[in-house]
Amino acid sequence: MENTLKEYKTSLEGLNTLEIQKRQEKYGLNKLVEPKKQHPIVLFLSQFFDALIALLLIAAIAAFLINDIIDASVILIAVLLNTIIGFVQEYKSQKAVEMLKNLVTKTAIVKRNNEIKEINSCELTIGDIVLVSEGDKVSADLKIIEANDLTADESYLTGESDAILKEINDELYMDSNILSGNAIGVVKAIGMSTSIGQIAEIVSEKSDETPLQKKVGHVGKVISLIAILVCIFVFILELFRGVPLVETFMTAISLAVAAIPEGLPAVLTLTLALGMQKMAKSNAIVRKLLSVETLGSCTIICSDKTGTLTENKMTVTDYYFLNKDKTMLIGNLCNNANLNNGKIIGNPTDGAILKFIDDNSDIGEISYKRIDETPLNSNRKMMSTTHRLDGENIITLVKGAPEIIIGECKYIDNEGNIEILSPKINKMLCEKISEMTNKALRVIGFAYKINNEDLIFTGLMGLIDPPKSNTIKAIEECKNAGIQVKMITGDHSKTAEAIARDIGILTDGKVITGEKLDELSDEEYLAIVDDIQVYARVKPMQKMRIVETLKNKGNIVSMTGDGVNDAPALKKASIGVAMGSGTDVAKESADMVIKDDDFGTIVKAIKEGRKIYDNIKRFIKFQVSTNVGAIITIIGASLLSLPLPFNPVQLLCINILMDGPPAQTLSMEGAEKDIMHRNPENGDILNKNTLTKIFISGLVMAIGTIGIFAYKLTNSNIKTAMSVAFTLFVVYQLFNAYNCKANSHKSSKYLYAGIISSFILQLLIIYLPQLQTVFRTAPINIFDWVLIILTGFTIIISEKIVNKVI
């Protein structure tokens, strides 16, 4: 002990405050995956490293060189506004992501300054004195300096499911579970340098880009390319027409700024971040920003049974005893739960058995000292304990999945008589099991052996675990929404079948066991995967194959899990969902953590995801229409040998105005009325249909703007004509924002406020003398206003017609 303390420069009193601070600075926080974090200043400066901003800065310099101070300043203000908007959005979403990360915290008990206290486990540092006891999860790699009957489960590291006895100078690894006893240890390694950290590094390889990320990136690139080509084209054309170089150059750059949807990623991020915050409030903590929209396109949910679909509040309602006393004894001793005034503490199955024994027998008096335990594990599906019977003899008590236990038993204990477990008795027991499983009961079998002799079967208990009150409704909701629900459970296939039927998961499909699944070839499995609705007696590693196969069928799969063994499947799933009560490793691997373990929360999250998906579609449609409209207007005017209807400053204004309030508020729209009554959208967010609509909107705007501009040129000066065209184009955008609004139960008040505030801004630009100088606008008379509003209205009519036709 002395050596260990010396090695890590600490003492039994623990570290002092100063030392803790020093070490935390030196070693960093005890976190598995450090989130990428940028200092606000770095984040702000990074906004300037952007091709468009660089172009704008060049334009500003050009304007300055030809002594056009006003334009130069306006461009600089545009740059500043763009960077500030970008910065605020990114900073806000970074903060939101961080905040959500902190919702999943773990704690550790430490001794510091000679005081025992509970701290957030990320604050642990090298040399900390940590106390662990039964049921704890170790929060760093520890070297043990004191141990009492300590056993730990390290199956996630070693693959061995046995409890490992730990003594002084042994190591306890981060994220292992303490199965029994207690200990004091010195922190040896933290964060990524722990054993699990090194594994986590391998596990946390960058996951694929999510569908939306790809789509938005792609659309952005295509439009940018078109915009740049158009800019070059207009630049050359205007130059040939004899317009001065600097002016054409500035027009080309402003057009690029207005036509390239550079605001999209920022609005996208913010929309997703806000969506995450909202979901966290209803117990769904999204750990990865972009899995929010993947949720919206989810086609299949694979869900755990116990605790997720059911209450995990067990009660023994049925039994079959060959030897009642022995069964009760096993149930009582091979058990890790406790009863406190009738309240269960610990494993619900164990607790229910304990309660049943408490109410129905007085076997509780008898006790043998426990000398060993093989804990329950999701592969073996049973637990066993070994006890000292008397001086020489030991007894091993086993309880767990009945068919597995019966398979290992050679004898039965028939009221004290040991008889061979004959095929006839086997058949009788199977019938008893069927009787119970058909009633949706979880069946537990009991057996024992003395010393190294054969296992003797003693009886069965059947436990009911009722579905949660909201489960049936949530499953119904999924069906209406075109989402398939599959149950994956470690439980008996008949139990799973009965419950699945009760709650509506099993309708016309099949039940398959993990064992059967292993017998199928990949082709055979792929052929029937659509029909399988329930997977029973599944081992965690089999979940991986289920996810892969469903994904191969083109599905977006959400998969739940809680154990360390579930981590690979959670990684593989489109949306890995970890239970709030699950292991930290599962949570680290998941995209989303369901704090209340409730299936209904997953469905709620999907609904929210769909809403976000819709809203993203809305502002993309809106913004891209503006971009397309601007491109067609400029190129159209140029081709028709007209002067350009907007000057560079006006183009920049259109850009900022439209990336601003309308786009932002479109992302805040409520859910469509039919949001959970339509099939998941697995396709392109910008499919041919939407693209056609966008093009038509852009075309309508361009024709109207050019038409009115040409008309005004005939009866007024160019300044007025440009002011009218500019205002009309803005009014088109505002009407188009209205086109994109949701058909929701919630009012679109933010959108309306955004539209109105943009309109007021436009009025100021037209009528405020100072702004008139900056934007080179002239006042618009009432007759022109009528013209503008009527022409602007065509975008609403055309949208209605287009929606009918396409």
- CA-atom Rg of the chain in angstroms: 34
Residue 131 near residue 182, CB atoms below 8 Å? yes
Q: Taking the complex as a whole, how short is the minimal distance between the CB of residue 327 and ligand ADP, in angstroms?
A: 13
**Which residue stretch of 111-119, 275-283, 377-385, 788-796 sits at the interface with ligand ADP (rule: CB under 6 A)?**
377-385
Beta strand segments in 526-680, E:
532-536, 557-561, 575-579, 592-594
* 248 is an interface residue for ligand ADP by CB under 6 A: no
β-bridge mates for residue 370, sequence order: 387
| Residue 366, both tokens | 């008898």
User: For ligand ADP, which residue of 23, 399, 449, 571 counts as binding (CB under 6 A)?
Assistant: 399
Q: Taking the complex as a whole, how short is the minimal distance between the CB of residue 376 and Mg ion, in angstroms?
A: 10
If you write DSSP's letter for every residue of 54-102 in order, what string do you get? Answer: HHHHHHHHHHHHTT-HHHHHHHHHHHHHHHHHHHHHHHHHHHHHHHHHT
User: For ligand ADP, which residue of 137, 143, 432, 442 counts as binding (CB under 6 A)?
Assistant: 442
> What is the x/- site pattern for ligand ADP, positions 464-503, by CB under 6 A?
-------------------------xxxx-----------
**Considering CB distances under 5 to 8 angstroms, the limit depending on partner class, which of Mg ion, ligand ADP, none binds residue 399?**
ligand ADP
**Which residue stretch of 51-59, 322-330, 346-354, 360-368 sits at the interface with ligand ADP (rule: CB under 6 A)?**
346-354
User: Quick one: 189 exposed, middle or buried, by C-beta within 10 A (0-12, 13-18, 19+)?
Assistant: buried
In which residue are the tokens 């057009």 written? 255
**Considering CB distances under 5 to 8 angstroms, the limit depending on partner class, which of ligand ADP, Mg ion, none binds residue 79?**
none
The crossing angle, in degrees rounded to 10, of helices 782-805 and 718-739 is 40
Q: Taking the complex as a whole, how short is the minimal distance between the CB of residue 477 and Mg ion, in angstroms?
A: 23
* 400 is an interface residue for ligand ADP by CB under 6 A: yes
**Total residues binding Mg ion (CB under 5 A):** 1
304 is catalytic: yes
**Considering CB distances under 5 to 8 angstroms, the limit depending on partner class, which of Mg ion, ligand ADP, none binds residue 197?**
none
Site for Mg ion in 290-309 (CB under 5 A): 306
Catalytic residue among 175, 304, 598, 659: 304
* 153 is an interface residue for ligand ADP by CB under 6 A: no
Closer residue to ligand ADP in complex, CB, 492/571: 492
Closer residue to ligand ADP in complex, CB, 288/539: 539
- Taking the CB of residue 59, how many other CB atoms lie within 10 A of it? 27
Distance CA 1, CA 6 (A): 9
User: For ligand ADP, which residue of 121, 155, 248, 306 counts as binding (CB under 6 A)?
Assistant: 306
Closer residue to ligand ADP in complex, CB, 448/613: 448
Q: Taking the complex as a whole, how short is the minimal distance between the CB of residue 574 and Mg ion, in angstroms?
A: 21
Which residue type sits at 642? L
User: For ligand ADP, which residue of 112, 137, 287, 305 counts as binding (CB under 6 A)?
Assistant: 305
Q: What percentage of the chain's residues is helix, strand, coil (to nearest 5)? A: 55, 20, 30
Residue 721 near residue 637, CB atoms below 8 Å? no
**Considering CB distances under 5 to 8 angstroms, the limit depending on partner class, which of Mg ion, ligand ADP, none binds residue 484?**
none
Q: Taking the complex as a whole, how short is the minimal distance between the CB of residue 463 and ligand ADP, in angstroms?
A: 9
Q: Taking the complex as a whole, how short is the minimal distance between the CB of residue 558 and ligand ADP, in angstroms?
A: 17
CA 484 to chain centre: 19
Closer residue to ligand ADP in complex, CB, 489/542: 489
DSSP secondary structure letter of residue 322 = S
Question: How far, in Å, are 53, 77, 466 from residue 256 at the CA level?
Answer: 11, 17, 61
Q: Taking the complex as a whole, how short is the minimal distance between the CB of residue 588 and Mg ion, in angstroms?
A: 18
* 381 is an interface residue for ligand ADP by CB under 6 A: yes
Residue 705 near residue 721, CB atoms below 8 Å? no
Residue 460 near residue 446, CB atoms below 8 Å? yes
Q: Taking the complex as a whole, how short is the minimal distance between the CB of residue 315 and ligand ADP, in angstroms?
A: 14
| Residue 419, both tokens | 């008889």
Question: How far, in Å, are 284, 423, 540, 766 from residue 304 at the CA level?
Answer: 16, 34, 11, 62
* 455 is an interface residue for ligand ADP by CB under 6 A: no
Q: What are phi and psi for residue 678, nearest 5 degrees? A: -140, 160
User: For ligand ADP, which residue of 32, 382, 475, 668 counts as binding (CB under 6 A)?
Assistant: 382
Closer residue to Mg ion in complex, CB, 269/601: 601
β-bridge mates for residue 732, sequence order: none
**Considering CB distances under 5 to 8 angstroms, the limit depending on partner class, which of ligand ADP, Mg ion, none binds residue 610?**
none
Which stretches of the chain bind ligand ADP, using CB under 6 A?
304-306, 347, 349-350, 376, 378, 381-383, 399-401, 442, 444, 489-492
Positions marked catalytic? 304
Which stretches of the chain bind Mg ion, using CB under 5 A?
306
